[in-house]
């Protein structure tokens, strides 16, 4: 099975062709955004960090941002720094070039001589990158080169009964075709860790899965908190979910039935084929960012109650199993699986249709979040790992 994507010099395949303009530190965000707004067609990637962080959070920020720029959907990037921040030019470029050799430039506001001079130089650099990117043409790629990130948020009872099951079917199809699928949201595997462990390709992978989930739960215990008091959320409960275990059992349906090939930590890039697990927060925006940084060119996001979340780098396909939600929130949802609950269509029929839709998105069809230019960005911080 094929799609038409962009072949990068580092060998990766992309389904979008972004030229990214990103602040290297929050202090430079306004200037970076001015550059992006003046260079029509460039992509602004918000960065809430870059300074005044402990060593662990600094590394996490660097891992996520360098991974997002290395994503196959990106042609090149301009980073706009202030000049006195913790994450200096050398660290950004070293981290990015460990992952990719695509063109990346960095400028400082303090060195350039202020806002207007920085904007003028940034516009020249970004415009040049955009002209180079425009020369890239889509070419035939195998579906095996796709990494699909699978997320859920604003879940209700239909998520575990319909949309997550259909997505699990799609995951199995993609894995069988040689592609990679990834689930994460570690706190929403609590109560289902034994089921996941049995699905490890090897006993060692299964044990790592189990240990990763239990370690996440332990972090809350050590902080004197009970995650079950915050998860399920009020919206989840209003949608019919009663316990974290119930939510977890529905959440893991996204993973289908194939064995897990690996477990990755937050900020790591995926280098294996098949179904994998990424250790992330349950916070949708930060979890999606981690999947994109890990290499996912596209995200499939199931939601029972609806959410407009998008990502600057990767299209986020919104899938719901709730017919009422789909009717009310049609301008932010892309695919309806509620027919599996009504009994008018099978999971396999819907899954095959979803695969065809995914291929259209890979070939350039835009999703609702892209059409509305929605982009959300967050990175895990110390104390919020789960």
Query: pLDDT tens across 133-175, in order?
Result: 999 999 999 999 999 999 999 888 999 999 999 999 999 999 9
**56-65, 183-192, 221-230, range with the lowest pLDDT:** 221-230
Which pLDDT score, from 0 to 100, does residue 385 have? 46
pLDDT digits (tens, 9 = 90+) for 28-62: 999 999 999 999 999 999 999 999 999 999 999 99
Nearest to 35, CA basis, from 125, 101, 138, 129: 125
Joined tokens for residue 8:
């990068």
User: Degrees (nearest 5) of the Cα angle 158, 323, 367?
Assistant: 95
Q: Nearest to residue 18, comparing CAs of 70, 75, 59? A: 75
The confidence score (pLDDT) of residue 28 equals 98
Q: Please give the Cα distance from 247 to 375 (Å, whole number).
A: 26
Asked if residue 303 has pLDDT above 60, the reply is yes
Contact 377, 285 (CB under 8 A): yes
CATH code of the region 18-135? 3.40.50
Residue ranges covered by each domain of the chain: 18-135, 142-371
150 bridge partner residues: 183, 300
Residue whose structure tokens are 């199931």:
302
Q: Give CA–CA dist 330/241, Å, rounded.
A: 23
- Over 90: is that where the pLDDT of 248 sits? no
- Taking the alpha carbons at both ends of the chain, their separation in whole angstroms is 36
For 71-118, what is each residue's pLDDT tens digit? 999 999 999 999 999 999 999 999 999 999 999 999 999 999 999 999
- Mean pLDDT in residue range 238-245: 74
Q: For residue 4, list its beta bridge partners.
A: 140
Q: Which two tokens stand for residue 349?
A: 């029929």
The pLDDT, as a whole number, for residue 381 is 82
User: Does the structure show a pLDDT above 70 at 386?
Assistant: no
Reply yes or no on whether the pLDDT at 368 is more than 80.
yes
- Which comes out higher in pLDDT, residue 349 or 230? 349
Give kind and range of the element (H or E) at residue 4. Answer: strand 2-7
For residue 209, pLDDT beyond 50 = yes
Structure tokens at 317: 């396909």
Specify the pTM.
Answer: 0.95
User: What CA–CA distance (Å, rounded) separates 104 from 19?
Assistant: 10
| Rounded Cα gap, residues 371 and 269, in angstroms | 28
Query: What is the rounded distance in angstroms from the CA atom of residue 115 to the CA atom of residue 183?
Result: 42
- Alpha-carbon distance values, 128 to 35, 135, 210, 268 (Å): 13, 11, 48, 30
Helix (H) or strand (E) holding 130: helix 115-134
Task: Indicate the average pLDDT of the chain.
Answer: 95
* Distance of alpha carbon 363 from the chain centroid: 19
Give the pLDDT score at 229: 67
């Amino acid at each position: 099975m094929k799609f038409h994507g962009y072949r990068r010099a580092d060998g990766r395949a992309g389904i979008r062709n972004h030229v990214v303009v990103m602040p290297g530190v929050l202090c430079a965000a306004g200037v970076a955004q001015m550059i992006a707004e003046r260079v029509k067609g460039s992509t602004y990637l918000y960065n809430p960090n870059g300074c005044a962080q402990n060593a662990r959070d600094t590394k996490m920020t660097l891992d996520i941002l360098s991974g997002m720029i290395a994503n196959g959907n990106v042609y090149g990037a301009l980073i706009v720094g202030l000049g006195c921040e913790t994450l200096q030019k050398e660290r950004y470029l070293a981290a990015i070039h460990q992952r990719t050799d695509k063109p990346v430039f960095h400028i400082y506001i303090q060195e350039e001589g202020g806002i207007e001079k920085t904007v003028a130089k940034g516009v020249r650099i970004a415009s040049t990158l955009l002209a180079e990117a425009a020369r890239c043409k889509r070419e035939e790629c195998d579906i095996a080169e796709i990494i699909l990130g699978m997320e859920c948020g604003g879940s209700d009872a239909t998520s575990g009964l319909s949309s997550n099951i259909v997505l699990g079917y799609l995951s199995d199809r993609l894995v069988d075709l040689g592609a990679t699928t990834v689930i994460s949201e570690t706190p929403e595997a609590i109560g289902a860790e034994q089921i996941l462990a049995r699905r490890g390709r090897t006993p060692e992978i299964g044990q790592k899965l189990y240990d990763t989930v239990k370690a996440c739960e332990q972090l809350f215990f050590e902080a004197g908190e009970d995650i079950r008091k915050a998860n399920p959320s009020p919206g989840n409960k209003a949608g019919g979910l009663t316990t974290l275990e119930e939510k977890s059992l529905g959440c893991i349906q996204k993973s289908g039935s194939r064995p897990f090939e690996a477990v990755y930590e937050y900020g790591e890039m995926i280098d294996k084929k098949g179904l994998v697990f990424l250790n992330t927060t349950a916070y949708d925006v930060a979890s999606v960012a981690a999947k994109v940084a890990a290499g996912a060119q596209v995200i499939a996001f199931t939601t029972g109650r609806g959410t407009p979340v998008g990502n600057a780098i990767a299209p986020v396909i919104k899938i719901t199993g709730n017919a009422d939600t789909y009717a009310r929130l049609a301008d932010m949802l892309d695919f309806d699986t509620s027919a599996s609950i009504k009994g008018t269509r099978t999971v396999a029929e819907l899954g095959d249709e979803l695969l065809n839709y995914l291929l259209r998105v890979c070939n350039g069809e835009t999703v609702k979040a892209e059409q509305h230019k929605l982009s959300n960005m967050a990175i895990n911080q110390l104390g919020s790992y789960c």
